[in-house]
């Protein structure tokens, strides 16, 4: 059992929240698991699946919890923190799973007392599926979880959150909220923005090409559609709350794209070959670190309606 976690409260039982619940149950990381979600239908499903020892639509269900994890869209996290805060016992640690950190700290911290330390976290894992049925206990196995505790955070609180994520199988890294947002802007947020844009362009072309865009979708475009199928509310909030870092990285991307366009226009094969060689090395490095498989088609079975191995369908 994870040290110090007697009662674990999870607020928001989507993919990440339900996976935490499943993992905590599977690996014995908490004596009692409490599920909180404002959607009565979700709570009904949580009970049917047996994901928690108690489930409620009320924020008061967080009372008595040692660790509370907010698994809600970053745009709503401040409001949810305000609702939960009055019910927290002294010493209860609050964390989250948002893909943006500086804005989350600014939204959550003002609602918490000094007796309730906030340790933001971002598990860099996921799939394009959502809801309590989509989670699985091994989602975080061998995946990164980034902690971004504000200056002065109680080390014991950080250790409590770190122990939970390590118990779920994650590799834990610590950095500042601002550095996290810059790194994730290029590794996750801008790629998602590009995917949404390419799929949107293809949708416009679909009418012109008489369904040939969808019919002849090859691996590259198919993977873009997987990313573009991600939760629209979550990603809307990510782009709006991390706009500065996203715009900075998008500007750099546009500069590099212009250079690539020039190489193609002027037949500069050497420049193209050099770029493709460098990017191939990045891919191999990701595989070598165990963050992806080396099998063709990005490790996913062909012609499957869902991934044979859910971990092979990752996103942050």
Q: How much of the chain exceeds pLDDT 70, in percent?
A: 84
Using one digit for the tens of pLDDT, what is the confidence trace for 35-79? 999 999 999 999 999 999 999 999 999 999 999 999 999 989 999
Taking a C-beta distance cutoff of 8 angstroms, is the pair 137, 26 a contact? yes
Q: Which residues belong to CATH 3.40.50.720 in the chain?
A: 7-175
Using one digit for the tens of pLDDT, what is the confidence trace for 178-215? 999 999 888 888 888 888 888 887 777 766 655 666 66
Taking a C-beta distance cutoff of 8 angstroms, is the pair 127, 315 a contact? yes
pTM assigned to the model: 0.76
4 burial via Cβ count (<10 Å: 0-12, 13-18, 19+): middle
Q: In CATH, what is the architecture of 179-312?
A: Orthogonal Bundle (1.10)
Q: Mean pLDDT of all residues in the chain? A: 85
The domain made up of 7-175 has a fold known as Rossmann fold (3.40.50)
pLDDT at 312 over 50: no
- Top pLDDT among 293 and 239 is at 239
Please report the pLDDT score of residue 207 as a whole number: 64
Q: Which residues belong to CATH 1.10.3660.10 in the chain?
A: 179-312
Over residues 105-114, the mean pLDDT reads 95
């Amino acid at each position: 059992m994870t040290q110090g976690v007697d009662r674990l409260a999870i607020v928001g039982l989507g993919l990440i929240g339900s996976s935490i619940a499943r993992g905590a149950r599977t690996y014995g990381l908490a004596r009692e698991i409490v599920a909180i979600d404002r959607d009565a239908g979700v709570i009904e499903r949580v009970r049917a699946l047996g994901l928690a020892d108690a489930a409620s639509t009320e924020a008061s269900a967080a009372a008595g919890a040692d660790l509370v994890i907010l698994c809600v869209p970053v745009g709503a996290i401040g409001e949810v923190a305000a609702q939960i805060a009055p019910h927290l016992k002294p010493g209860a640690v609050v964390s989250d799973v948002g893909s943006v950190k500086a804005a989350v700290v600014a939204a959550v911290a003002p609602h918490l007392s000094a007796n309730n330390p906030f340790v933001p976290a971002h598990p860099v894992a996921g799939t394009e599926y959502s809801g309590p049925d989509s989670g699985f206990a091994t989602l975080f196995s061998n995946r990164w979880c980034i902690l971004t505790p504000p200056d002065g955070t109680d080390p014991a609180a950080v250790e409590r959150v770190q122990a939970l994520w390590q118990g779920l199988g994650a590799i834990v890294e610590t950095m500042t909220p601002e550095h996290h947002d810059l790194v994730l802007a290029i590794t996750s947020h801008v790629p998602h923005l590009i995917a949404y844009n390419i799929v949107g362009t293809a949708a416009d072309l679909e009418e012109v090409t008489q369904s040939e865009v969808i019919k002849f979708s090859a691996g590259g475009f198919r993977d873009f559609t997987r990313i573009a199928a991600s939760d629209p509310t979550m990603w809307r909030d990510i782009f709006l709350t991390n706009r500065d870092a996203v715009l900075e990285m998008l500007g750099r991307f546009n500069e590099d794209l212009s250079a690539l366009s020039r190489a193609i226009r002027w037949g500069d094969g050497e420049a193209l070959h050099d770029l493709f060689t460098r990017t191939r090395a990045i891919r191999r490095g990701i595989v070598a670190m165990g963050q992806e498989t080396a099998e063709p088609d990005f490790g996913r079975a062909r012609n499957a309606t869902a991934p044979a191995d859910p971990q092979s369908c990752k996103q942050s």
